[in-house]
């Protein structure tokens, strides 16, 4: 990889952005008020803003392996806190993707070192939905379904936070689960029934 090329690209990008809009960067520097918090996978093929056609300033982005919303991960928890409480985003999106290496690894029996505790949470999703997943005979289809169920569980993990519960009550914050299909480039809304899911768990997780 030629790193010089990156700086050359950057100069071209600046020129393109300023073309017809000289104040592009000075306006950008004034502040951000993104309407969306996007939580996605680190996978190099799932480029958050590019595949959504979003411009700088439009999405607050957090990415980690397998788009996890892990309760003890200070990174994702502080991102959620800041996005909801301070930036007042209207939407939180958890976006998974088919072909996710993290989800695949969690379906296999292997010691992956520090990845073990991280991917253990994907294994927990498998256990929670074991009956449904075991009933899918085709392994590829089962893998794709686990990607979707993992997105659903991470949406639930967003809803378990006090920030999300308060913002849903006070200003109708929306939580969405999406999946990106690398093989087609298509972004799919899983149409997760957030209210239904929340109703099922609210007795246990209600904090706001
Ligand atoms: Co992935």
In which residue are the tokens 């294994």 written?
123
The overall average pLDDT reported for the chain is 96
Q: How far apart are CA 135 and CA 127, in angstroms?
A: 13
Report the 10 Å Cβ neighbour count for 187: 16
Q: How far is the CA of 26 from the centre of ligand 1 (A)?
A: 35
Q: How far is the CA of 190 from the centre of ligand 1 (A)?
A: 17
Positive or negative, the CA dihedral 198, 202, 204, 206 is positive
Indicate the SS3 state at residue 179: strand
Which residues keep their CB under 5 angstroms from ion ligand 1? 41, 43, 100, 102
Q: How far is the CA of 5 from the centre of ligand 1 (A)?
A: 27
Tens-digit pLDDT profile for residues 22-52: 999 999 999 999 999 999 999 999 999 999 9
Residue 192 has pLDDT above 90, yes or no: yes
List alpha helices for 19-138, DSSP H: 24-28, 48-52, 74-81, 101-106, 115-128, 130-134
What residue ranges define each of the domains in the chain, with the CATH number in brackets?
1-31 (no CATH), 33-205 (3.40.1050.10)
Residues 6-16 have a mean pLDDT of: 97
Q: How far is the CA of 147 from the centre of ligand 1 (A)?
A: 9
- pLDDT score at 52: 97
Q: Evaluate whether 115 touches 154 at the Cβ level (below 8 Å).
A: no
Q: How far is the CA of 83 from the centre of ligand 1 (A)?
A: 22
Q: Evaluate whether 41 touches 96 at the Cβ level (below 8 Å).
A: yes
Tens-digit pLDDT profile for residues 111-129: 999 999 999 999 999 999 9
Residues 65-71 have a mean pLDDT of: 97
Instruction: List active site positions.
Output: 41, 43, 45, 97, 100
Indicate the SS3 state at residue 159: helix
Give the length of the chain. 208
Percent with pLDDT over 90 in the chain: 95
Residue 198 has pLDDT above 90, yes or no: no
């Amino acid at each position: 990889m030629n790193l010089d090329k990156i700086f050359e690209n950057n100069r071209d990008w600046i020129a393109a952005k300023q073309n017809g809009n000289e104040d592009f960067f000075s306006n950008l520097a004034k502040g951000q008020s993104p309407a969306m918090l996007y939580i996605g996978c680190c996978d190099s093929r799932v480029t958050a803003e590019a595949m959504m056609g979003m411009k700088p300033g439009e999405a607050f982005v957090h990415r980690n392996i397998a788009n996890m919303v892990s309760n003890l991960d200070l990174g994702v928890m502080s991102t959620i806190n800041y996005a909801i409480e301070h930036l007042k985003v209207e939407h939180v999106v958890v976006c998974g993707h088919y072909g996710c290496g993290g989800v695949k690894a969690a379906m296999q029996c292997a010691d992956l070192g520090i990845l073990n505790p991280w991917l253990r949470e994907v294994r927990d999703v498998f256990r929670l939905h074991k009956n449904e997943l075991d009933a899918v005979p085709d392994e590829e289809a089962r893998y794709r379904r686990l990607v979707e169920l993992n997105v659903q569980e991470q949406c639930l993990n967003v809803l378990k936070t006090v920030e999300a519960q308060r913002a849903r009550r006070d200003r109708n914050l929306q939580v969405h689960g999406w999946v990106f299909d690398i093989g087609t480039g298509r972004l799919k809304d899983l149409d997760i029934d957030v209210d239904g899911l929340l109703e099922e768990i609210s007795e246990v997780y209600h904090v706001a």
